[in-house]
A = this chain, B = another copy of it.
């Protein structure tokens, strides 16, 4: 996959990425989009989300600190995005933790068109209505199960499904990719999962094949993380260097480090 060319398009087109996201990582979601060269906008008032989504090239929803009103704004924004034909990414952040989260995820999935569903293994399993089968002893067996899960959900919801983890799985009903980039330090900083959804949103604005878009975005993001972690004393400096390294990511680094199957 020519990952750099997708990044180049993000930088050249500077797509507007409208977010309705959580209050914990809202700054990081905006900042990573900007550092990738795109243009973030965060707006959640029911009175303006339709107008804002109509200006945007992609929409990102994240239920991390949901309330019922906020979900209603998400629906309005998503319907506007659907009407305009721009891709909608949903981070099912915390699905499975409370009844409210599950119910609202299903409402969103049933009432609007979600183009990319993104979560970790247990969140996506919950959305798929299944338990995660993690009985496999070696990681290749777990991975096989998760690919199956992603593909089934992709077919059921007519969406691209992204399962993040040590290895990320990106699947639509016809194909799948595995992104093997990334580093352990990402798990020690709040917001790396939310930022992944924002990156997918930014890349979805410039590449119609959404599985390819998500894969390219995750690969770039995680290569930058790998470089940053090598040069960091801990999670604080790591996060700042992550932004530095996204900003300075180039063709040479991507071609040398990309591990996508």
Contact = CB atoms under 8 A, between A and B. Distances in A.
A240 B237 contact: yes
A242 B68 CA distance: 36
Interface residues of A, number: 53
Contacts of A24: 26-27, 30, 42
B233 A98 contact: no
Nearest to A237: B240
Contact of A190 (B34, B43, B64, B94): B34
List the number of copies, as a whole number. Answer: 3
A25 interface: yes
B51 A99 contact: yes
A138 B22 CA distance: 42
Contacts of A45: 65-68, 100
A163 to B, nearest CB: 20
Interface of A: 22-28, 30-31, 34-35, 40-45, 47-48, 51-52, 55, 64-68, 94, 97-101, 188-191, 232-237, 239-248
- Counting from the closest, the 10 A-B pairs by CB-CB distance are A234-B244, A236-B243, A236-B240, A48-B100, A51-B98, A48-B98, A234-B247, A45-B67, A31-B190, A236-B244
